[in-house]
């Protein structure tokens, strides 16, 4: 599958490496040129596009029209929501995934807004910790 990841920081580069090791074709879009080294070290051979993932022309140059999945994993909820909305409604990407940074924003990350799967890091971590505490109690 062709995967497009927007956000090449720690989460995006790690995700690129995981997907690539599973045999997927991966391209990362990142606005910070300094992140290119991290992506290339973490996921050698991953495509890298320097640009703003909310720009339709940048998305097109990265191959959004042939992407099976777009994952928006930047550190800004507003950016991730715009990216998934563009991917779904402007480019008809079949599957979208968004990182939710602020748990209070989770309510916005819905299919109506173009998000198939919203992953709230704080919620996931809190539930895992609560499960560990309950098991040991």
Q: What does the H/E/C string look like for 57-117? A: HHHHHCCHHHCCEEEECCCCHHHHHHHHHHHHHHCCCCEEEEEECCHHHHHHCCHHHCCCE
Q: What is the span of the domain harbouring residue 25?
A: 2-136
Tally of structural domains, the chain: 1
Average pLDDT, integer, range 117-129:
90
Residue 60: CB partners within 8 Å, gap ≥ 6?
none
CATH number for position 72: 3.40.50.720
State the Cα–Cα distance between residues 28 and 22, nearest whole angstrom. Answer: 16
What pLDDT is recorded for position 137? Answer: 59
How much is the pTM? 0.92
What pLDDT is recorded for position 127? Answer: 86
């Amino acid at each position: 599958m062709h995967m497009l990841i927007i956000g090449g920081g720690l989460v995006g580069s790690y995700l690129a490496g995981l997907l690539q090791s599973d045999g997927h074709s991966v391209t990362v879009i990142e606005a910070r040129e300094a992140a290119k080294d991290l992506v290339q070290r973490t996921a050698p051979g991953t495509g890298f596009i320097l640009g703003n993932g909310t720009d339709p022309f940048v998305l097109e140059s990265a191959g959004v029209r042939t992407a099976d999945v777009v994952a928006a994993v930047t550190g800004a909820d507003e950016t991730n929501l715009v990216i998934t909305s563009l991917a779904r409604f402007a480019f008809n990407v079949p599957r979208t995934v968004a990182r939710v940074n602020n748990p209070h924003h989770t309510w916005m990350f819905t299919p109506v807004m173009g998000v198939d799967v919203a992953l709230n890091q704080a919620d996931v971590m809190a539930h895992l910790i609560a499960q560990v505490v309950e098991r040991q109690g």
